[in-house]
Amino acid sequence: MTVKGANLFERPREHSLTEEFPYWEIHEGVMFLEDGRCEVGVELLLKPTLLLPQGDLEGLLFMVRSILRNGVPQGTRARLIVEAAPAPEAEVEAYREACSPTHPVARAIGEERYRHWRGLWERGEVMTRRFFLTVAYGRKRPRRLPFGKAELAERLKEGARIRESIRMIAKGRGVEVREMDSQEVFGLAYRYLNPGLRLSGVPQYRPTWQRYPRKAVERIPGLRPPTLRTQLLRSEVDNSRRDALYVGGRWISMFTLYTIPDETYTEMGDVLALAGGGEFYLVVDFYHEPYERALKALKARARRFYAASANTETYVDPNILVGQRETEGAIVHISQTGDHVYRVGVALVLIEREREVLERRASQVVGRLSEIPGNPFRQLKNGLFEPWKSRAPFSGGMSDEVVSLLEYNAADLVPLTGAWRGHERAVVLFHSRFRSLVRFDPFTPTTPNWNGIIAGGSGSGKTFFTQYVLADLLRRDEVDVVILDRGRNYEALVEAFGGAFIDIRPGGETAVNMFDLEEGE
């Protein structure tokens, strides 16, 4: 009996993306997958940590550990997604809309600075950064088996419990959590799968309902309502190249964690988030191993190491001795602290319009990731489609390369720092290290007082910064500025706005005497 092998050259070179992804339906903020599992998500509104005391920073780390242990049920996978993407046009337009100056100089300065920010936005150099946490739960079931009313209600209730648990834990440390509704769930998946369509906006999600009889749909296919997958998958994917992936007009490259780092530290996740540079997705998977099963597996591993090292008649590989000590140390740590074990996968997905730019950026990322002890990251070179697909939001997938870490090590891979967005009114704009725009309003009513000090060394730019802020502040017609300066550093600014100079010095037209004098003296 012989079996004829399939010829590789006869296989079709084109395939439908709708058959590759498991998306089925979104209901009340819960993504239902084709195999019966579900996934829910929340958005984390992280704050800047630059000025936080060390105690508060450690408190954020304890919050992450508590979410991993108590917010993510055992036997489920949590996925942290850091999305760095081009900012919407409204971020730049807010600067123009903040003020309507009547002074010609203020108007000219505002228009020139608006053109500057607009140019940065058009070149894709104005970014936003958002943090999402999703949890996949539920067991697989026969394909396309419908849910009963009670079972559906139970799945929705379980998703609500997971989101509420995460929200309450984060609230204890002052981190705001927003539950994602159906449109936000759809939007996150849509932006990941269609990077070239991001700036055109996310379309409104339309639930799939059969509005016409089946026979009518079979005769007129145009009557068929769009499925979730056809709404999400709007871009073509070119997987013909070995070292890059082309998705909807964008080139994609990936870096993954392939081995355990030599050590972890508190702000290690922020290093990963900053390594991406421009447009990217940082995807960190945490599979929560059941506690008893993980401890049992470690003990079985320790027994195997012990049996291999107990034979004194032959040479014992040093790797066995090292493995035995590390395994026993992990068991002792778990027994003492109650820490759980997680299978962790990390992927950094880089996105660029031009392939040459992507290659240069990938070289820079290699240098930035070398800051991680042990250099445990590598760039994927072959077959990027499957790794890219498995990291898609709300797809229920799991990283193909994972390492087992204890709870306190796994928590170090979570970024703790968010970009400061500033105030509501964009009187002044700044470009942050996250490449995002920061709105600054010196006299916003949300601040407790309007006093401020600008501190810095000689030649560090204190005067330049002050003039930059004043030039924008003077776009508001109701603002009056009084400057007391020993030199004439602000002369150009004052002359440009038609101000007046008052020379205060002994023997001059105006003098200030600190002593009390009688009237007329």
The 8-class DSSP code of residue 16 comes to: -
**pLDDT tens column, 323-381:** 888 888 888 888 888 899 999 999 999 999 999 999 999 999 999 999 899 999 999 98
The pLDDT, as a whole number, for residue 521 is 65
Token readout for 170 is 């984060």
- Residue 199: how many CB atoms within 10 A of its CB? 13
Instruction: Report the alpha-carbon distance of residue 332 to residue 337 in Å, rounded.
Output: 9
Average pLDDT over residues 237-254: 89
3-class secondary structure for 287-351? Answer: EECCHHHHHHHHHHHHHHHHHHHCCCCCCCCHHHHHHHHHHHHHHHHHHHHCCCEEEEEEEEEEE
Tokens of 199: 């700036």
The CATH class for the domain spanning 21-87+126-288+340-411 reads: alpha beta
What confidence tens digit (pLDDT) does each residue in 310-325 have? 766 777 777 788 888 8
Instruction: Give the confidence band of 7 by pLDDT, cuts at 50, 70, 90.
Output: low
